[in-house]
């Protein structure tokens, strides 16, 4: 039996490729080296072969030797690099809780990635390892820890500091550049890749903690990290809607997502829907609308939060879609101003 190929979130590769382009690497070169085109990287929930991580970082290592590009990338990549984890960081009760989520959902980022927490009396260390590290001389570890440090500070709105940083490889650029970024001593050629935090700071309450929203985002990541279990309805139409509802729990509303959930090609999915006088996009739109009403019933979720959980890039995009579905706005719907009773809808997610 052929071994299962490990995958990585497209958001991780998209951030790396965007940085490579900013450095001056032509997209044609990246495509020639990896086979990837930019449209492969647009959907953050898409999974791509993990070997692309090593390929891209080795390309950067060869083109830009003696540069600390693993740290430099942390200054430019967007929060979407970490996908839903970026939102988990914002609403976690404290830094420790976010680090725990990083360990629990490490496979959401990359199935080859290993993250663990090691605690001592005064410190908490987050250790990482990726198989691409040796070939890329630790650039993957540098990028992961540097981006992680930046987002822990920015997304939790805290002044979290670290005690020191360790890398198992030799420095790729001037050592002073690493220490300027992290603001603490950075040690190379150690036995591990680790970022060490002061335990007292990581246990301090986060200013924007929201346990209810944090749980909702965890459920979203649960859906991404594993297929929801449960039996499927026997009738063909019921199976289509049931599969769409499962996709909705993961924030997936694309034809490709639904086809994958059902184990068929997009063309086969379209034919099956047409056999029952249905359109795939209509099924997905109904599912998304039903999920929107479900989320709006939770008063702890803002409209912006709901837009994220529904897979919209902005709150405005969600408002436009909701207005098209119902003839009213999410805010009015939440107040009960809908022209029809949501409970009478046929589809309930």
Q: Is the pLDDT of residue 181 over 60?
A: yes
Q: How many Å apart are CA 2 and CA 5, to the nearest integer?
A: 9
User: Which residue shows structure tokens 């999410």?
Assistant: 330
Residues 153-171, mean pLDDT to the nearest whole number: 81
- Greatest mean pLDDT among 22-36, 82-96, 153-167, 334-348: 22-36
Element (H, E) at 155: helix 139-155
Q: Is the pLDDT of residue 115 over 60?
A: yes
Q: Which domains does the chain have, with CATH numbers?
A: 7-202 (3.90.1520), 228-344 (1.10.10.60)
* Interacting residues of 255 by C-beta distance below 8 A, sequence separation 6+: 266, 269, 270, 280, 281, 284
71-75, 150-154, 280-284: least confidently modelled range? 150-154
Mean pLDDT of the chain: 81
Which pLDDT band holds residue 346 (cuts at 50, 70, 90)? very low
205-219, 224-238, 253-267: least confidently modelled range? 224-238
Q: Is the pLDDT of residue 229 over 70?
A: no
Residues 169-190, mean pLDDT to the nearest whole number: 95
Q: Is the pLDDT of residue 67 over 60?
A: yes
Q: How many Å apart are CA 112 and CA 110, to the nearest integer?
A: 5
The model scores a pTM over 0.75: no
Residues 151-166, mean pLDDT to the nearest whole number: 76
Q: What is the CA radius of gyration of the chain?
A: 22
3-class DSSP assignment, residue 81: helix
Q: Is the pLDDT of residue 324 over 60?
A: yes
Helix axes 27-34, 10-23, angle to 10 degrees: 130
The two tokens of residue 98 are 């976010």
Share of the chain above pLDDT 70, in %: 81
Q: How many Å apart are CA 175 and CA 298, to the nearest integer?
A: 49
pLDDT computed for residue 1 by the predictor = 37
Residues 82-87, mean pLDDT to the nearest whole number: 68
- Do the Cβ atoms of 169 and 194 come closer than 8 Å? no
Q: In this predicted model, which residue has the larger pLDDT, 257 or 276? A: 257
Q: How many Å apart are CA 26 and CA 28, to the nearest integer?
A: 5
């Amino acid at each position: 039996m052929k071994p299962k190929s490990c995958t990585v979130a497209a958001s991780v590769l998209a951030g790396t490729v965007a940085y490579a382009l900013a450095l001056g690497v032509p997209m044609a070169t990246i495509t020639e080296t990896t086979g990837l085109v930019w449209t492969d990287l647009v959907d953050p929930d898409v999974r791509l072969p993990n070997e692309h991580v090593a390929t891209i970082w080795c390309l950067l290592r060869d083109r830009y030797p003696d540069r600390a590009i693993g740290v430099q990338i942390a200054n430019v990549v967007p929060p979407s690099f970490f996908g839903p984890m970026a939102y988990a960081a914002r609403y976690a009760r404290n830094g420790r809780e976010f680090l725990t989520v990083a360990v629990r959902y490490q496979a959401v980022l990359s199935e080859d990635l290993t993250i663990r927490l090691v605690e001592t009396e005064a410190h908490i260390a987050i250790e990482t390892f990726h198989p691409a590290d040796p070939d890329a001389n630790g650039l993957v570890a540098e990028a992961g820890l540097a981006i992680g440090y930046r987002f822990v500070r920015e997304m939790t709105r805290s002044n979290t500091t670290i005690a020191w940083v360790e890398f198992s490889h030799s420095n790729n650029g001037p050592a002073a550049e690493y220490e300027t970024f992290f603001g603490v001593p950075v040690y190379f050629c150690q036995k591990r890749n680790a970022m060490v935090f002061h335990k007292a700071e990581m246990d301090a309450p986060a200013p924007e903690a929201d346990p209810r929203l944090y749980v909702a985002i965890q459920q979203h990541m649960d859906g991404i990290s594993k297929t929801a279990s449960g039996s499927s309805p026997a009738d063909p139409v019921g199976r289509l809607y049931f599969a769409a509802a499962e996709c909705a729990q993961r924030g997936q509303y694309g034809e490709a997502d639904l086809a994958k959930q059902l184990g068929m090609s997009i063309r086969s999915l379209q034919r099956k829907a047409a056999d029952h006088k249905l359109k795939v996009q209509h099924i997905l739109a109904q599912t998304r609308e039903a999920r929107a009403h479900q989320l709006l019933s939770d008063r702890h979720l803002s409209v912006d939060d709901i837009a994220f959980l529904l897979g919209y890039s902005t709150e405005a995009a969600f408002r436009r879609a909701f207005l098209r579905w119902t003839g009213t706005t999410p805010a009015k719907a939440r107040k009960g101003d809908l022209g029809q009773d949501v409970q009478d809808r046929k589809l309930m997610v």
